[in-house]
């Protein structure tokens, strides 16, 4: 049994070591201790997906993941996508298709789309909808988000990175 | 008091959903408040509703995790069920994380039995090559359970041990005649049919599903939370499990010796009264059981 846990992880490509309480949530660790406030807290119950980050490339609800659970993992937040000032193709596609309204669900949606395209570079519309059903857009802008994911798949194929 | 806490939480909070969780934890405090509990619950991290501090144990062996049960510990695998409960105010002193136990994640097929570790995720149950070869029908059903984020975190052991009448694995395993392998706190392993009403206390280690030639399996999940229906059928007969309609999923077996409609009518007639709640009346659940079973038996009939 432990009161404080030492963890080592890769956060957006950089090695990081930290000491965390057992009950500290990953979302709070990222926002409060790492200053990465791009990860949004929506429902706080692992339902809405706004807090989605990638753990070893797999989408996870950071509001329902304890910080110690990413020990040894590679975590990607929305801040980790743009490389050398250039947006990721998924980000470019969301911009081009105006796939956000209030923007609160956008970081989670983009990371979800990023994981989808890594697993399936050319998803059909049914697969895109199945994946996106994990996240909620309270502005209901789903049509543009689906189109942005299709556009992102095209961009990735044309300029892979 | 309940209503007042909700209103208070809403006016003080930043987001409606978060404050609802706060209200629930406050209400549960009101119900069983003690000064010690109050102090613990007031530890609030960041913008979240409180999760009370707990001690964490991360064993690498099944036996150590099973032994920890004697200390009143609670198991955490994918956290899909437990974490929202903690958010809603459930107080847990000790948590045993199961994610470091490799032996809970194995999948093997031997001597006509598929053995799946309790720590196997939904994503693996749906896509693992051993499972898709041995029980393609179960894998196909599981591709539609939950969403992609949950499928990568949630484990089959968690689905079963949450003992939630709306979850899908218990009906599926009843229809498939599965056996549970449970690690007891004293280090022994015990087998029990999933049908048994009294599972021995311990850590669920794995699930064994017999591979019966020509057995087909289908599951209707589209009418949840009114009802779910898991059906396995082979030459000898059918096993049908009903979820959502009783406190615990109910199993019935019968011979396939008639037309689907007649079998389904008899089946529904012989059911104990399903529960009536805010979702549906018992009579409606009984009627749906008949309609859905007839549909599934037709789908399973040899063509």
For chain B, give the mean pLDDT: 86
Which of these, B57, B77, B76, B53, lies nearest to B67 by C-alpha position?
Answer: B57
The verdict on a CB contact (< 8 Å) between A134 and B80 is no
Average pLDDT over residues B58-62: 96
**Nearest Cα residue in chain A from B154:** A60
A26 and A64, same domain (yes or no): yes
Whether the CB-CB separation of B131 and B121 falls below 8 Å is answered with no
Q: Which residues of A touch B47 (CB under 8 A)?
A: 28, 31, 41, 44
Give the model's confidence band at A76: pLDDT under 50 very low, under 70 low, under 90 confident, else very high.
Answer: very high
Domain end position, chosen among A80, A108, A134: A80
| Nearest chain B Cα distance for residue A50, angstroms | 12
* Residue A134: domain span: 89-158
A67 pLDDT above the threshold of 80: yes
What does each C-alpha distance from B36 to B21, B25, B32, B51, B54 come to in angstroms?
A: 21, 15, 11, 15, 14
Cβ–Cβ under 8 Å, residues B155 and B121: yes
| Contact (CB<8Å) A5/B95 | no
Which ipTM score applies to this complex?
Answer: 0.93
Domain finish residue from A61, A80, A99: A80
β-sheet bridge partners, residue B301: none
- Give the pLDDT band of residue B261 (cuts 50, 70, 90): very high
Verify that A45 and A95 share a domain, yes or no.
no
Using a CB-CB cut-off of 8 Å, the residues of chain A touching B95 are 22
Report pLDDT digits (tens) over B66-87: 999 888 799 999 999 999 999 8
- By the CB < 8 Å criterion, does B90 face chain A? no
The alpha-carbon gap from B139 to the nearest alpha carbon of chain A, in Å, equals 17
pLDDT band with cut points at 50, 70 and 90 for residue B303: low
Strand A74-76, strand A5-11: pairing: parallel
Q: Which helix (H) or strand (E) holds A43?
A: none
Q: Give residue B221's region: left, alpha or beta (phi > 0; psi -120 to 50).
A: alpha
Please tell me whether residues A74 and A100 are part of one structural domain.
no
Predicted confidence (pLDDT) per residue in B208-248, tens digit: 999 999 999 999 999 999 999 999 999 879 999 999 999 99
Is the pTM here over 0.80, yes or no? Answer: yes
Report the C-alpha gap between B281 and B274 in whole angstroms.
8
Q: Which of B168, B144, B174 is nearest to B156 (CA)?
A: B168
Q: Which residues of B touch A72 (CB under 8 A)?
A: none
Nearest to A46 among B45, B53, B84 (CB): B84
Number of domains comprising chain A: 2
The band of B43, judged by pLDDT with boundaries at 50, 70 and 90, is: very low
**Contact in structure between B300 and B233 (CB atoms under 8 Å):** yes
Q: Are A56 and A142 in contact (CB under 8 A)?
A: no
- Sorted by where each starts, the structural domains of chain B and their CATH numbers stand as 1-51 (no CATH), 215-303 (3.30.390.50)
Exposure string of B144-170, with b = 16+ CB inside 10 Å and e = fewer, is ebbbbbbbbbbbbbbbbbbeebebbbb
Whether A11 and A63 map to the same domain: the answer is: yes
Are A47 and A104 in a shared domain? no
Closest Cα in chain A, distance from residue B87 (Å): 8
Contacts of A64 in chain B (CB under 8 A): 79-80, 83-84
Residue B197: count other Cβ atoms within 10 Å of its Cβ. Answer: 5
Cα torsion for B16, B17, B20, B21, to the nearest 10°?
-140
Could you tell me the CATH number of the domain that includes residue A104?
Answer: 1.10.150.120
Domain termination residue (choose one: A80, A108, A125): A80
Before B232, cis peptide (omega within 30)? no
Q: Of the ranges A106-110, A143-147, B8-12, B170-174, which one carries the lowest mean pLDDT score? A: B8-12
Q: Are residues A66 and A113 in the same domain?
A: no
**Cβ pair A43, A135 in contact under 8 A:** no
């Amino acid at each position: 049994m432990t009161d404080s846990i030492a963890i080592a992880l890769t956060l957006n490509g950089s090695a990081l070591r930290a000491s965390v309480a057992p009950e500290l949530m990953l979302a709070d660790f990222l926002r409060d201790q790492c200053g990465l406030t791009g990860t949004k807290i929506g429902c706080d119950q692992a339902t809405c997906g706004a807090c989605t980050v990638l753990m070893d490339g797999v989408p996870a609800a950071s509001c329902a993941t304890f910080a110690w659970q990413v020990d040894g993992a590679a975590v990607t937040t929305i801040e980790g996508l743009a490389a050398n000032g250039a947006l990721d193709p998924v980000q470019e596609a969301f911009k081009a298709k105006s796939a956000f309204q209030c923007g609160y669900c956008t970081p989670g949606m983009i990371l979800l789309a990023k994981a989808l395209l890594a697993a399936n570079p050319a998803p059909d519309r049914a697969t895109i909808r199945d994946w996106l059903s994990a996240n909620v857009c309270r502005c209901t802008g789903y049509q543009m988000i689906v189109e942005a994911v299709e556009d992102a798949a095209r961009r990735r194929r044309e300029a892979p990175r | 008091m309940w209503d007042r806490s909700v209103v208070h939480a809403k006016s003080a909070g930043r987001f409606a959903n978060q404050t609802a969780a706060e209200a629930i934890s406050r209400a549960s405090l009101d119900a069983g408040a003690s000064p010690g509990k109050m102090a613990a619950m007031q530890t609030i991290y960041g913008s979240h509703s409180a999760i009370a501090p707990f001690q964490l144990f991360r064993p690498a062996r099944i036996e150590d995790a099973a032994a920890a049960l004697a200390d009143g510990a609670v198991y955490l695998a994918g956290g899909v069920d437990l974490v929202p409960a903690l958010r809603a105010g459930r107080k847990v002193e000790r948590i045993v994380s199961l994610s470091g136990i490799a032996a809970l994640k194995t999948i093997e097929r031997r001597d006509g039995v598929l053995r799946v570790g309790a720590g196997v995720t939904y994503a693996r149950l749906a896509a693992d090559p051993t499972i898709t070869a041995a029980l393609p029908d179960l894998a196909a059903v599981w591709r539609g359970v939950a969403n992609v984020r949950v499928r990568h975190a949630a484990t089959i052991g968690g689905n079963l041990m949450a003992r939630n009448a709306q979850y899908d694995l218990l009906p599926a395993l009843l229809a498939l005649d599965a056996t549970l392998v449970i690690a007891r706190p004293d280090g022994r392993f015990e087998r029990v049919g999933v049908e048994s009403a009294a599972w021995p206390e311990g850590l669920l280690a794995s699930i064994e599903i017999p591979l019966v030639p020509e057995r087909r399996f289908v599951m209707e999940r589209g009418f949840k939370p009114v009802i779910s229906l898991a059906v396995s059928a082979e030459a000898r007969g059918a096993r049908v499990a009903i979820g959502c309609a009783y406190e615990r999923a109910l199993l019935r077996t019968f011979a396939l010796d008639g037309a689907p409609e007649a079998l389904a009518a008899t089946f529904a007639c012989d059911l104990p009264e399903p529960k009536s709640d805010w979702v549906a009346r018992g009579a409606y659940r009984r009627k749906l059981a008949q309609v859905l079973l007839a549909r599934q038996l037709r789908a399973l009939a040899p063509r």
